[in-house]
A and B are shown apart, each in its own frame.
Chain A
Amino acid sequence: MKVQNIRTLSLILCMISYLLVGAAVFDALESETESSKKKILEQKRNELKKKYGFTQDDYREIERVVLQSEPHRAGRQWKFAGSFYFAITVITTIGYGHAAPGTDSGRTFCMFYAVLGIPLTLVMFQSMGERINTLVRYLLCRLKCCMGLRWTDVSMGNMVLVGLLSCMSTLCVGAAAFSHFEGWTFFHAYYYCFITLTTIGFGDFVALQKKEALQRRIPYVAFSFMYILVGLAVIGAFLNLVVLRFLTYSTQEGTRSLEVEREEQAAVPKRPWGGKAVEEADVEASARDRFCISALCSCMCFRLCACDSPFPSRCEHSGCHSNPLFYNSISYRVDEASCSSRGTSAQSSPSSGALFLGMSNSHTRRKSV
């Protein structure tokens, strides 16, 4: 079976098992608490009913009124500040639900708003995330240079570490801030930040719902909005660094195998010279390799020459001056491969093969259709 199909099937199986395991654990963690809480609350309810002499209908009426007034408890939700908050929850797909459109026209507009806004936001955050990653890479490179390290390359490990640290600090900063402003415990505030920045957005904890904050505490409102958007950018940068390649990877695989199939279909009957056997591909590959190196852009040839020169410790000769990304890019690896392949041509195949299959590349490839 094709690699992509196997991969897709295993991912599906993985996800289903993950859901089953998660369900079992949540059941174990929450079920008992739920049933005991429910019992207590129902007891309390019955007590109160008895105390005030409510009939079932009476109680139902009160319940209805209470539930209807619930969204209004937190203040005006649809003035400009509240609407802005709501718009953020829509296009970032957080979707707390603390305020949901009550009119049908509001719902319709919400749907159209989301259709355009969600892709815009996705692209925006990935774009910003990439810029952030590039900046971080550059700064890290300069830092390494300043600290006088010999090897000033910024590896993927470095980037992932920095990414993780920034995510954790973003969450902690948010937790500290919201626990102060909202009066939650640090843990609940951290949980709120996490649920918000992963765009899950349960709505069990929602900021700006106390003491009419949306109307009264404008600086805090501004802080909340900025925090959510900046936090999402940081998370987006981390996702861009770590996850995006896997999203485009399967797409590349698919298109590549498509290409191979087409090639195999087309190449066989239409070869003008009566065909070279497939088995000779390796020989041809090495011949091609030599041809490739000599006839290709002379820049690459120059690069090969430069490859041999010893690296001085000055930054100008390392990646800092041009682009640290370059050293993680495919071009650099190609150089390395080419450099090493002068001796053994076979070496470039596995390295570029590894490159092709390499999930450790920091660059991302975009599929085109």
Chain B
Amino acid sequence: MKRQNVRTLSLIICTFTYLLVGAAVFDALESKKEKTQKKKVYDRKQELMNTYNLSQFNFDELERVVLQLKPHKAGVQWKFAGSFYFAITVITTIGYGHAAPSTDGGKVFCMLYALLGIPLTLVMFQSLGERINTLVRYLLHRLKKCLGMRRTEVSMVNMVAIGFISCMSTLCIGALSFSYFEGWSFFHAYYYCFITLTTIGFGDYVALQKDHALQTNPKYVAFCFIYILTGLTVIGAFLNLVVLRFMTMNAEDEKRDAEQRALLSRNGQAGGHNHMRCTPDLPSSSSAASGCGGGSGNSGVGGAGRGLRNVYAEVLHFQSMCSCLWYKSREKLQYSIPMIIPRDLSTSDTYMEQGEAFSSDPLHPLHSNGCICSMHHPHSAISSVSTGLHSLTPYRLGHSKRRSSI
């Protein structure tokens, strides 16, 4: 079966299993308390009905009124500040539900608003997240330089660590502020921040609902909005760093399959010839493949935990044979036809020649077979062919930076 199908099926099974396990645990944790609380509330209700001599009908009437008044308890929800708060909860998909449109016109507009707003917000947060990651990478690089460290490249592990720390501090800062302003315990405020910034947004805890804060405390209101948007950016940056790559895995495999099919469906002789030249590279490519397969760490050749990635990378690398081949031919060509070697080629050749000088360069480690398979390089060149033609663009991306599979 194709790899993409296997991957998709396993993910589906994984998710179902995860749901089942989660359901079982939540059942175990919450069921008992629910039962006891339900009984308690029911008993209290009966008491009240007796005390005030209320029939069930009367009580139902009261109940209706109380429940309908509930959203109004927290103050005016739809003035500009409240509407802005609501608009945030819509386009970020948090959706507390503390205020929900009651008019049909409001519902219709809400749907249309979400239709355009949600993709806009997704793209915005990822864009901003990528900028932040780039900035952090740069700052870390400079920091390492200033600290006089030998290896100043910024690895994936560094980035993930920093991302994780920033997420945790964002949550803690929010927890502190909201526990102070809303009078919640630190744990509940942390829980609120977490549920908000993951956009789950239960609505069991909602900020700006006490003491008519939306109308009377504009500074706190501004802080809340800024906190939510900034926090989502930080989380978005972390997701951009860690999760986004996995979302495009299937599409890239599909593309690679298509290219391989094209490769294999050509004329037999030419194919055979190419294969002959390619095959001897395969064994030596394993080391590069494992290096290519790695997407993290500073080590050049694949480490212990990368067995599975090697399999991926090896197949990818077979496909990338053509480009490596190309570079090898170029290397040979460079000595015979120096005039037609464009600048880009020469640069990569210098990389090959001056490998040592470049080992300190964070993004271009070399491998024994001369392939410039950069595992660190945050570049997503997909295929040899596209690489070749990309270099024709004004951006002058001469080097084939092989993208690691994972």
Contacts and interface: CB of A to CB of B under 8 A. Distances in A.
A29 B105 contact: yes
Contacts of B34: 72, 76-78, 102
A26 B101 contact: yes
A263 to B, nearest CB: 6
Contact of A247 (B69, B126, B398): B126
Residue in A26, A117, A256 whose Cβ sees the most chain B Cβ within 10 Å: A26
B363 to A, nearest CB: 6
Nearest to A283: B342
A212 interface: no
A367 B248 CA distance: 9
A55 to B, nearest CB: 11
A131 B97 contact: no
Nearest to B376: A369
B275 to A, nearest CB: 10
Nearest to A45: B65
Contacts of B15: 91, 120-121, 124
Interface string B369-406: 00000011111101111101111111111110101100
Nearest to A71: B34
B325 A356 contact: no
A191 B250 contact: no
Interface stretch (A140-148, A153-161, A292-300): A292-300
| Max count, chain B CB within 10 A of own CB: residue among A5, A117, A297 | A297
Contacts of B252: 363-366
A119 B243 contact: yes
A15 B111 contact: no
A368 B45 CA distance: 60
Contact of A19 (B87, B384, B386): B87
Given A58-B52, A80-B27, A30 B95 contact: no
B248 A364 contact: yes
Given A22-B83, A204-B97, A296-B388, A198 B380 contact: no
A281 B379 contact: no
Contacts of B45: 65, 69
Contact of B23 (A19, A80, A242, A254): A80
B191 A111 contact: yes
B101 A123 contact: no
B11 A127 contact: yes
B65 A7 contact: no
B37 A30 contact: no
B117 interface: yes
B11 to A, nearest CB: 4
B90 A191 contact: no
A30 B102 contact: yes
B78 A31 contact: yes
B107 A131 contact: no
B347 A31 contact: no
A360 interface: no
B262 A299 contact: yes
Interface string B191-231: 10011001111111000000000000000000000000000
B244 interface: yes
Contacts of B359: none
A91 B14 CA distance: 13
Most chain B beta-carbon neighbours within 10 Å: one of A20, A122, A330, A338 = A330
A271 B203 contact: no
Given A31-B79, A90-B200, A270-B350, A299 B246 contact: no
A44 B65 contact: yes
B111 A54 contact: no
Contacts of A24: 80, 83
Contacts of A200: 89-90, 93-95, 114
B378 A52 contact: no
B386 A330 contact: yes
Which of A65, A95, A368 counts the most chain B CB atoms within 10 A?
A: A368
Interface stretch (B142-150, B266-274, B283-291, B300-308): B266-274
Contacts of A23: 80, 83-84, 86-87
A295 B111 CA distance: 54
Interface string A41-58: 110110010001110001
Contacts of A111: 191, 194-195
6 contacts: A23-B84, A91-B18, A107-B188, A254-B378, A259-B363, A338-B389
